């Protein structure tokens, strides 16, 4: 607590600040007296009658003014220094004072002051919300996105964020309907919500708030303080660890309990995860191979990949050569293709123990794809916490013909959003470097 009470200079309070602290203190004292002595109606708008006085007093006036004075000045110090603190007192006679300071919404407070809280405290709350929203956009910048395009743009306002799809960072050939771009924005949205929860802020989310503006994907309002759950802190820490590791997996199998936890993470975001059976993996392999051949023979697709991958990509975005394999891996399901060989060596192993799953849901509208992105984030964070790698495979989703083939693997359960590969990678070796990120000024706008 030394940082809270450290003094930089000793001088009297300014007259206006002293007046406001004194007004708050007197209001708290008035409420305290009302609690100690009266049965009700503390505003005294009519003559006080004997039956309105408590026959047995609860609390003691002698300790209350001092407690209220400390509360008022602590509020001033907390606001001035931008700190958070807990005021702990004994459970004795001073109870009315603490209750008086936590009843700002009651009408009795209006008799002495129109402000239910000190203006300085309100300012401190606003500053805390602004910091929480800034933390949220920072966490969102680490979200996965199709070919690392980072197609989101945030507008930061006083107590809320607006999430938009940035059409300048979408794939016109590989993703003409912008479904995968919206999914990417959904992942960023979930990352932001994780950050707010870890900051102890309840968030109210309105998805697709303006039908006239289809690029306006969500509004996020940070409102009441909430208890910080250990899981929220763990998820926030995992955001910094999460990355795409395309190396072949080890021979260690994934147990059913872990897969169940990952599926539950998807369900928490109104999306489902269908784990493929061994025979279905061969069908997926055929569809993936077909999709990659179709795209590789498309000159427009090749030009788009050249724009987003390799050494000439837009700074801060795309897939660098250091995470692209030198040659096609000898695995059942082909890995991601980026139109050219990279620098990462491949192993002579097959991912026989890898688990392939389809992220899917009941609808195919923008809202469904946005929720699918939130599910992707939840699934990826949970898998990372369980020591598993995740590789998104989007080729079969990008090509209409093969997307229908993937849909057939769901046997009518819903629409496929993305194929995911789960596995256990070699933790003893250094994995590929992480993909770059855009600076905040490219993805966050201030009013």
Give pairs for 131-135: CB < 8 Å, separation 24+: 131/199, 132/195, 132/196, 132/199, 132/201, 132/222, 133/159, 133/160, 133/161, 133/196, 133/220, 133/222, 135/195, 135/196, 135/199
Give the span between the Cα atoms of 98 and 93, in whole angstroms: 10
Distances in Å between the alpha carbon of 187 and those of 35, 137, 269, 375, 445? 50, 12, 11, 7, 19
3-state SS of 382-406? HHHHCCCEEEEECHHHHCHHHHHHH
- Is the model's pLDDT at 57 over the cut of 80? no
- Is the model's pLDDT at 3 over the cut of 60? no
DSSP at 27: H
Which residue, 440, 400, 394, is CA-closest to 419? 394
Judge whether 418 and 372 are in contact, CB under 8 Å.
Answer: yes
- Is the model's pLDDT at 407 over the cut of 80? yes
- The pLDDT confidence band at residue 191, using thresholds 50, 70 and 90, is very high
Give the span between the Cα atoms of 276 and 289, in whole angstroms: 17
Predicted confidence (pLDDT) per residue in 139-152, tens digit: 999 999 999 999 99
Give the span between the Cα atoms of 45 and 175, in whole angstroms: 69
Which residue, 436, 445, 447, 265, is CA-closest to 357? 265
- Is the model's pLDDT at 61 over the cut of 90? no
What pLDDT does 1 receive?
44
Distances in Å between the alpha carbon of 294 and those of 9, 53, 273, 305? 72, 86, 27, 14
List, in order, residues 6 or more apart from 425 with CB less than 8 Å away.
Answer: 245, 247, 249, 250, 389, 431
The tokens of 275 are what? 């784990």
Structure-derived torsion over alpha carbons of residues 316, 217, 236, 84, reported in degrees to the nearest 10: 110
In this predicted model, which residue has the larger pLDDT, 131 or 346? Answer: 131
Query: Which conformational region is residue 147 in: left (phi greater than 0), alpha (psi within -120 to 50 degrees), or beta?
Result: left
Mutual orientation of helices 119-140 and 15-37 as an angle, nearest 10°? 100
Predicted confidence (pLDDT) per residue in 16-31, tens digit: 788 888 888 888 888 8
List, in order, residues 6 or more apart from 218 with CB less than 8 Å away.
Answer: 162, 163, 189, 205, 206, 207, 208, 209, 370
Predicted confidence (pLDDT) per residue in 321-377, tens digit: 777 655 555 566 766 655 544 444 444 445 578 899 999 999 999 999 999 999 999
- Is the model's pLDDT at 130 over the cut of 70? yes
Predicted confidence (pLDDT) per residue in 305-335, tens digit: 888 887 667 789 998 877 765 555 556 676 6
Q: What percent of the chain has pLDDT over 90?
A: 52
The tokens of 23 are what? 């007004």
Q: What does 430-441 look like in DSSP terms, one character per residue?
A: --PPPPP---HH
CB atoms within 10 A of CB 366: 21
Enumerate the β-bridge partners of residue 423.
389
Judge whether 258 and 357 are in contact, CB under 8 Å.
Answer: no
User: What b-and-e string marks burial along 291-300, b requiring 16 or more CB atoms within 10 Å of the CB?
Assistant: bbebbeeeee
H-type helices in 38-94, by residue range?
Answer: 64-81
Distance of CA 152 to the CA centre of its chain: 14
Indicate if 243-423 has the same CATH topology as 124-238+440-445. Answer: yes
List, in order, residues 6 or more apart from 279 with CB less than 8 Å away.
Answer: none
Q: Where are the domains of the chain?
A: 2-117, 124-238+440-445, 243-423
Q: Which fold would CATH assign to domain 124-238+440-445?
A: NADH Oxidase (3.40.109)
Give the span between the Cα atoms of 427 and 391, in whole angstroms: 16
Q: What percent of the chain has pLDDT over 70?
A: 81
- Is the model's pLDDT at 413 over the cut of 90? yes
Helices vs strands, H then E, count in the chain? 14, 9
Using DSSP's 3-state secondary structure scheme, residue 132 falls into helix
Q: Which fold would CATH assign to domain 243-423?
A: NADH Oxidase (3.40.109)
Give the span between the Cα atoms of 258 and 324, in whole angstroms: 28
Q: What does 135-202 look like in DSSP terms, one character per residue?
A: HHHHHHTT---GGG---EEEEE-SSEEEEEE-GGGS-TTT-TT-HHHHHHHHHHHHHHHHHHHHTTEE
Give the span between the Cα atoms of 208 and 414, in whole angstroms: 21
3-state SS of 246-305? CCCCCCCCCCHHHHHHHHHHHHCCCCEEEECCHHHHHHHHHHHHHHHHHHHCCHHHHHHH
């Amino acid at each position: 607590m030394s940082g809270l009470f450290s003094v930089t200079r000793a001088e009297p309070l300014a007259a206006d600040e002293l007046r406001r602290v004194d007004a708050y203190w007197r209001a708290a004292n008035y409420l305290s007296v009302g609690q100690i002595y009266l049965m009700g109606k503390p505003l005294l708008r009519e003559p006080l009658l004997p039956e309105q006085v408590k026959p047995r007093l609860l609390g003691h006036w002698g300790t209350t003014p001092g407690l209220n004075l400390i509360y008022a000045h602590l509020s001033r110090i907390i606001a001035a220094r931008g700190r958070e603190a807990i005021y702990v007192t004994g459970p004795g006679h001073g109870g009315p004072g603490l209750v008086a300071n936590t009843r700002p919404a009651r009408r009795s407070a209006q008799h002495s002051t129109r402000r239910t809280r000190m203006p300085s405290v309100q300012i401190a709350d606003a500053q805390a919300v602004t910091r929480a929203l800034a933390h949220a956009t920072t966490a969102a910048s680490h979200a996965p996105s199709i070919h690392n395009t980072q197609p989101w743009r945030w507008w930061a306002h006083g107590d809320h964020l607006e999430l938009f799809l940035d059409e300048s960072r979408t794939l016109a050939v590989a993703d003409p309907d912008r479904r995968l771009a919206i999914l990417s924005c959904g992942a960023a949205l979930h990352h932001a919500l994780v950050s707010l929860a870890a900051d102890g802020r309840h968030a109210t989310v309105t998805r697709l708030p303006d039908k006239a503006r289809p690029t306006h994907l969500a509004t996020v309002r940070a409102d009441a303080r909430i208890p910080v759950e250990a899981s929220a802190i763990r998820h926030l820490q995992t955001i910094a660890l999460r990355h795409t590791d395309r190396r072949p997996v080890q021979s260690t199998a994934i147990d059913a309990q872990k897969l169940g936890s990952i599926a539950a993470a998807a369900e928490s975001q109104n999306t489902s995860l269908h784990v493929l059976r061994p025979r279905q993996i061969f069908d997926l392999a055929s569809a993936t191979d077909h999709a990659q051949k179709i795209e590789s023979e498309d000159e427009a697709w090749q030009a788009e990949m050249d724009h987003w991958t390799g050494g000439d990509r837009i700074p801060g975005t795309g897939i660098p050569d250091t995470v692209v394999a030198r040659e096609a891996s000898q695995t059942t399901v082909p890995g991601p293709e980026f139109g050219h060989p990279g620098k990462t060596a491949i192993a002579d192993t097959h991912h026989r123990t890898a688990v392939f799953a389809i992220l899917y849901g009941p609808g195919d509208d923008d809202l469904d794809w946005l929720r699918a992105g939130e599910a992707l984030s939840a699934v990826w964070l949970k898998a990372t916490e369980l020591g598993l790698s995740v590789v998104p495979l989007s080729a079969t989703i990008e090509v209409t013909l093969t997307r229908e083939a993937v849909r057939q693997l769901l046997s009518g359960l819903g629409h496929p959003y993305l194929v995911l590969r789960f596995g256990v990678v070699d933790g003893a070796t250094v994995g590929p470097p992480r993909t770059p990120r855009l600076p905040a000024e490219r993805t966050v706008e201030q009013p």
